[in-house]
């Protein structure tokens, strides 16, 4: 044991005297830290700051392992430093272990510096599982330093070591997620990333810092790193060389594959199951939802009928953090991205209380149920109540949306049976079907949200439809009943019956509200029915349906004022779902990513 301790002490003393070590161990990583923090506007989101820390940790660990351990060992052999230890005599094990331990000791202070500056300057709360993060980082440092020592063992010269380092270092740096999010990469590149050790290191750190997971939830990554560490230690000891004159055969260089074998096995498994791809997507979504946004100078329809003529709403960490009845005097002090909403109306996401997801609403099937949920979110309808659909399908859909694996409207199945839903859209669709009227298909927002093929085939069907005299009585009675229910003070909710013929999934609630207004219902009452009332009927009014502090930041921003013209509900400027600003066209490309 004494040779190990003596060698570790010697390495630490030499590192303390080497200014280049101090620069690359502390100052250089901090330069990256502050550069990334400023570039990504880390003050606006604790999640972004956590992502920045994960990025600089990966860059630091890779550099510490491949350059700090691997290249340094080769240089010591080339300059005959190792020959002196051979004469001492000291075996290879103390030298390898000392290199790993001293590298870890040198690296850990920078980790604590990252967390210190992240909390002190960027207001990032410390992770609840900070100990798990630190332990995982330690495992990662040791594993990558052991990989660096393998490179030193199999390289016959500094030039050869440099080539091997770059072959491993650059892909791990750019494809692991450390510098570019995995979710932004094409699927084939994401599959390649699953074979890289740095991917598991990065996702493990991300899972712990963003997802709040523990070491136990990341046993696969931990186990792979530990196996690689043990194999590298064993092989590194067997292949260790003291002098530059000693050469190693090309066959021996294949030991690098032996060290990487756990990740080759994991890569094959992940390429088949795509579990890590889905996990990376969820982590990226959680990061996107944790930003800070200030909607300023907006007309705010709160949901319960209250209207704020000119107010502001602060969104932070997926929730509505603050509602201002007048714009704040100093928006910059809130450390949030500012959205100028002058001339626009902010309201809670709309809710459709009656949809049939298993039916397309037109002739022939469209691109599937998941896409229908995307069409709703595109149209500003952020929640739907499924009626009559297969429970197993609905359950999977709800789980995919709730986890963040898929971006679409939230799915409900239960709710109150006492709310009054007139269902005017389905009744009007029956009239259009009898007369062969294609007008419902010509709505601008529907044409944006619905599959073009479905609209085309449905239009052809209507053209061939035999015209008959429509029965207007059911629709007129439903309008009269709606007015009576409104006067009686019943809980009114909007349900379109989407999936019925000619009620195509998309801007269904907008059409329903327009029919209500034509029937004599005030726009404010229709909007309340589509937001707060519907949320109340779903027993979810504690988090959706209202613009209130503590509620989910699920909002739509409209061009114009729907209280003056209900048709403005189709003029969507922005959709926010649980704090994430939705890139609406990308909703229909999710299955291609």
**How many Cα atoms occupy the beta-carbon half-sphere of 35 within 13 Å?**
9
Mean pLDDT of 18-24: 63
Q: Which of 344, 302, 341, 305 is nearest to 325 (CA)?
A: 302
pLDDT in tens, 414-443: 877 789 999 999 999 999 998 888 988 999
Buried (b) or exposed (e) across 273-292, using 16+ Cβ within 10 A?
eeebbbbbbbbbbbbbbbbb
- Contact of 284 with 300, CB cutoff 8 Å: no
Residue found under tokens 């910059």 = 332
Instruction: Quickly tell me which residue has 């088949």 as its tokens.
Output: 272
Does residue 281 register a pLDDT over 70? Answer: yes
Interior/surface letters 183-196, b for 16+ CB within 10 angstroms, e for the rest: bebeeeebbbbbbb
Q: Where are the alpha helices (DSSP H) in 316-423?
A: 369-378, 391-403
**pLDDT of 427:** 95
**pLDDT reading at 324 higher than 90:** yes
The DSSP output letter for 146 is H
Determine the length of the chain.
593
- The tens digit of pLDDT for each residue in 26-54 reads 777 888 899 888 888 787 777 788 888 98
* Burial call 526-540: b when 16+ CB within 10 Å, e when fewer: bbbbbbbbbbbbbeb
pLDDT in tens, 521-571: 999 999 999 999 999 999 999 999 999 999 999 999 999 999 999 999 999
Q: What is the pLDDT of residue 86?
A: 64
The yes-or-no verdict on residue 489 having pLDDT over 90 is yes
User: Distance (Å, rounded) from C-alpha 588 to C-alpha 296?
Assistant: 29
Q: What is the pTM of this model?
A: 0.82
Domains in the chain, please, with CATH? 2-288 (no CATH), 349-540 (3.20.20.140)
Q: Give the percent of the chain with pLDDT over 70.
A: 94
């Amino acid at each position: 044991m004494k040779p190990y301790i003596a060698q570790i002490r010697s390495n630490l003393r030499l590192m303390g005297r080497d200014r280049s070590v101090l620069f690359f161990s502390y100052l250089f990583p901090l330069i990256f830290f502050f550069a990334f923090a400023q570039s990504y506007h880390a003050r606006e989101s604790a999640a972004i700051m956590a992502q920045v820390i994960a990025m600089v940790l990966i860059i630091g660990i890779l550099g510490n392992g491949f350059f700090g351990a691997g290249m340094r060992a080769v240089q010591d052999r080339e300059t005959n430093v190792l020959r002196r230890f051979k004469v001492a005599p000291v075996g290879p094990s103390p030298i390898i272990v000392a290199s790993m331990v001293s590298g870890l000791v040198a690296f850990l202070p920078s980790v604590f510096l990252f967390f210190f500056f992240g909390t002190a300057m960027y207001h990032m709360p410390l992770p609840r599982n900070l100990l798990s993060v630190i332990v995982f980082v330690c495992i990662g440092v040791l594993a990558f330093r052991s990989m660096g020592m393998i490179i030193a063992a199999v390289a016959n010269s500094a030039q050869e070591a440099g080539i091997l380092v770059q072959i491993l270092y650059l892909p791990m740096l750019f494809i692991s997620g450390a510098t570019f999010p995995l979710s932004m990469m094409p699927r084939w590149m994401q599959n390649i990333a699953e074979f890289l050790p740095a991917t598991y290191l990065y996702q493990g750190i991300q899972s712990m810092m963003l997802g709040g997971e523990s070491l136990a939830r990341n046993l696969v990554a931990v186990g792979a790193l530990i196996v690689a560490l043990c194999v590298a230690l064993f092989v590194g000891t067997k292949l260790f060389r003291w002098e530059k004159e000693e050469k190693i055969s090309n066959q021996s260089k294949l030991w690098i594959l032996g060290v990487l074998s756990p990740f080759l096995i994991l890569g094959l498994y992940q390429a088949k199951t795509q579990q890590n791809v889905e996990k990376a997507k969820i982590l990226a979504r959680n990061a996107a939802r944790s930003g800070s946004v200030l909607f300023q100078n907006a007309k705010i329809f709160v949901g319960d009928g209250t209207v704020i003529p000119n107010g502001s709403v602060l969104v932070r960490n997926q929730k509505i953090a603050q509602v201002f009845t007048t714009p704040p005097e100093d928006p910059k002090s809130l450390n949030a991205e500012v959205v100028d909403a002058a001339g626009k109306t902010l309201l809670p996401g709309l809710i459709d209380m009656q949809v049939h997801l298993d039916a397309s609403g037109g002739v022939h099937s469209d691109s599937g149920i998941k896409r229908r949920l995307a069409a709703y979110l595109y149209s500003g309808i952020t929640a739907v109540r499924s009626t009559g659909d297969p429970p197993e399908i609905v359950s999977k859909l709800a789980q995919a949306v709730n986890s963040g694996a898929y971006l679409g409207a939230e799915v409900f199945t239960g709710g109150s049976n006492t709310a009054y839903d007139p269902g005017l859209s389905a009744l009007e669709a029956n009239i259009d079907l009898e007369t062969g009227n294609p007008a419902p298909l010509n709505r601008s927002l529907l044409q944006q949200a619905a599959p073009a093929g479905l609209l085309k085939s449905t239009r052809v069907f209507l053209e061939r439809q035999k015209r008959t005299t429509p029965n207007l009585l059911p629709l007129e009675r439903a309008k009269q009943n709606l007015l009576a229910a409104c006067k009686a003070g019943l809980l009114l909710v909007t349900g379109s019956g989407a999936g019925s013929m000619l009620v195509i999934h998309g801007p269904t609630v907008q059409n329903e509200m327009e029919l209500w207004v034509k029937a004599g219902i005030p726009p404010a009452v229709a909007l309340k029915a589509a937001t707060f009332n519907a949320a109340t009927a779903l027993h979810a009014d504690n988090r959706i349906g209202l613009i209130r502090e503590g509620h989910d930041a699920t909002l739509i921003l409209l061009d114009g004022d729907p209280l003056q013209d209900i048709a403005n509900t189709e003029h969507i400027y922005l959709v926010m779902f649980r704090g994430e600003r939705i890139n609406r066209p990308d909703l229909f490309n999710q299955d291609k990513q």
